[in-house]
Amino acid sequence: MKYTWTLSFCSVALTTSLVAAPAAEEALLARLPEIFAKSAAHYKALDAAAAPLAISEKEVGKGWDKSKALMPHGFNRKTRQLDMRTIFWWTAGHFPGSLWYLYEATGDEFFKTRAKAWTETLAPNAKVTSNHDIGFIMYCSYGNAKRLLKTDEYDALITSTADSLCKRFKPELGLIRSWGMLDETKDFLVIPDNMMNLELLEEAAKIPGGEKRFADVARSHATKTMAHHFRADGGTYHVLNYDQRPGFHGAVQEIRRGQGLSCETAWSRGQAWAIYGYTMMYREAKDPAYLAFAEKVTDFALNHPNMPIDGVPYWDFGAPGEERDTSAAAIIASGLLELSKYVKSPDKAAKYRAFAVKQLTALASPEYFSEGDEIGHWLLKHGVGHKPGGSEVDTPLDYGDYYFLEALLRLKKE
Ligand code: GLY
């Protein structure tokens, strides 16, 4: 149904693949109520298990310090315990964000109440200047709260977070420092994940009375990253170390493997952040360079010879046969559903949308979607956090669930 307009532009050769797409999409759309109902049941169980653990044992009875609160993050498959982490951990906004998406998907007031309660534990992040992740943390949580509750109650916190994030911006380089302290002079480390923090800056600039400099910083960072962080084929490096000495004007002094397999391959989640990040930046800035770049980094991933047939990538594009990363698939699917609305070529739009549908159909299958408490009620199995660091390999990841739910909602809304 949605592709009728597309077919009139297509050559006969393309028609076969495009005809298949609407049927797959209709089938997935028909399953949405069931997928959201199962997800809601999982997250009710997660919330019940996590709530008593939200304050660390050490704090109980001490008139507890709010900055010591904990947030559900993942699942330890050996001990079968819920993995609770500090509210300053980079993923702390994703669990409340998923609760907000479940509220949006089901209308169940339980999710509104719980999403609000978990979101509000994150307030101390607004003043943090020691990492770039506060954009993620505060936008997935408070950003969704603002959108769904249609409230300005959180504007001051969002603005304060944007101000803190901008303290990591170095105008001489035009970049936000991803890792490292503000006074670090030797290294200036940037990762493509940082693209995801820019949405909070764009939103903060739009708050009535909001500062234009927030959007200026976001656009400067996106443009500089576009110039340096990718190979000619559109594949991403993970960590770039820029030279910040006066006179060196941000030359790249070192490339690091980071969470990827090597400096020559593309780490799948880094590529996913780039696809999503440049699509989002095109939405906000309407700069055609961002759109063209979003297509370039997308085409690298979708046309890669090591992309599996179900669209769930190996954890690194250079690691065929190793673990898949469901989080990368979910981020790409959500990004593609948005990008398909902006690309000028109807064929490309149809291809991107069909790819996202294929990924989401796979993620919603028993191969990837959990049953009962097999992974402590998180939704998606088989995520990879940091394989070279030996951490979180073949495990559920809170951000995988978040972008999976976001993508399903994007599919439903259109
Ligand atoms: N930002 C860290 C990651 O994607 O693992």
Does residue 90's CB lie within 6 angstroms of at least one atom of ligand 1?
yes
Higher pLDDT, 367 or 4: 367
pLDDT of residue 55: 79
Q: Is the pLDDT of residue 10 over 60?
A: no
Share of the chain above pLDDT 70, in %: 93
Q: Is the pLDDT of residue 300 over 80?
A: yes
Q: How confident is the model at residue 62 (pLDDT cuts 50, 70, 90)?
A: low
Q: Is the pLDDT of residue 19 over 70?
A: no
Q: Which atom of ligand 1 is nearest to the CA of 386?
A: 5
Q: Is the pLDDT of residue 18 over 80?
A: no
Distance 259 CA to ligand 1 centre (A): 8
Instruction: Supply the CATH classification number for the domain 2-413.
Output: 1.50.10.10
pLDDT digits over 105-158, tens only?
Answer: 999 999 999 999 999 999 999 999 999 999 999 999 999 999 999 999 999 999
Does residue 271's CB lie within 6 angstroms of at least one atom of ligand 1?
no
pLDDT of residue 12: 34
Mutate-to-test residue for ligand 1 from 178, 259, 268, 398, highest number of ligand atoms within 8 A of CB: 259
Residues 6+ apart with CB under 8 A from 69: 54, 55, 86, 87, 121
Phi, psi of 347 (to 5 degrees): -65, -45
- Global pTM reads 0.94
Separation between Cα atoms, residue 284 and residue 273, nearest integer Å: 16
pLDDT of residue 414: 77
pLDDT of residue 65: 77
Q: How confident is the model at residue 22 (pLDDT cuts 50, 70, 90)?
A: confident
CA-nearest residue, atom 2 of ligand 1:
193
Over range 376-390, report the average pLDDT: 98
Contact 103, 149 (CB under 8 A): no
Q: Is the pLDDT of residue 56 over 80?
A: no
pLDDT of residue 333: 98
pLDDT digits over 178-221, tens only?
Answer: 999 999 999 999 999 999 999 999 999 999 999 999 999 999 99
Q: Is the pLDDT of residue 6 over 70?
A: no
Separation between Cα atoms, residue 55 and residue 117, nearest integer Å: 13
Does residue 193's CB lie within 6 angstroms of at least one atom of ligand 1?
yes
Q: How confident is the model at residue 68 (pLDDT cuts 50, 70, 90)?
A: confident
What average pLDDT is seen over the chain?
A: 93
pLDDT of residue 9: 33
Strands 169-170 and 81-86: unpaired
Separation between Cα atoms, residue 346 and residue 352, nearest integer Å: 10
pLDDT of residue 91: 98
Three-state SS annotation for the chain: CCCHHHHCCCCHHHHHHHHHHHHHHHHHHHHHHHHHHHHHHHHHHHHHHHHHHCECHHHCCCCCCHHHEEEEEEEECCCCEEEEEECCCCCCCHHHHHHHHHHHHHCCHHHHHHHHHHHHCCHHHHHCCCCCCHHHHHHHHHHHHHHHHCCCCCHHHHHHHHHHHHCCEECCCCEECCECCCCCCCCCEECHHHHHHHHHHHHHHHCCCCCHHHHHHHHHHHHHHHHHCECCCCCECCEEEECCCCCCCCCEEEEECCCCCCCCCCEHHHHHHHHHHHHHHHHHHCCHHHHHHHHHHHHHHHCCCCCCCCCCCECECCCCCCCECHHHHHHHHHHHHHHHHHCCCHHHHHHHHHHHHHHHHHHCCCCCECCCCCCCCCCECCEEEECCCCEEEEECCHHHHHHHHHHHHHHHHC
pLDDT of residue 288: 98
Question: Which two three-digit tokens encode residue 56?
Answer: 């660390």
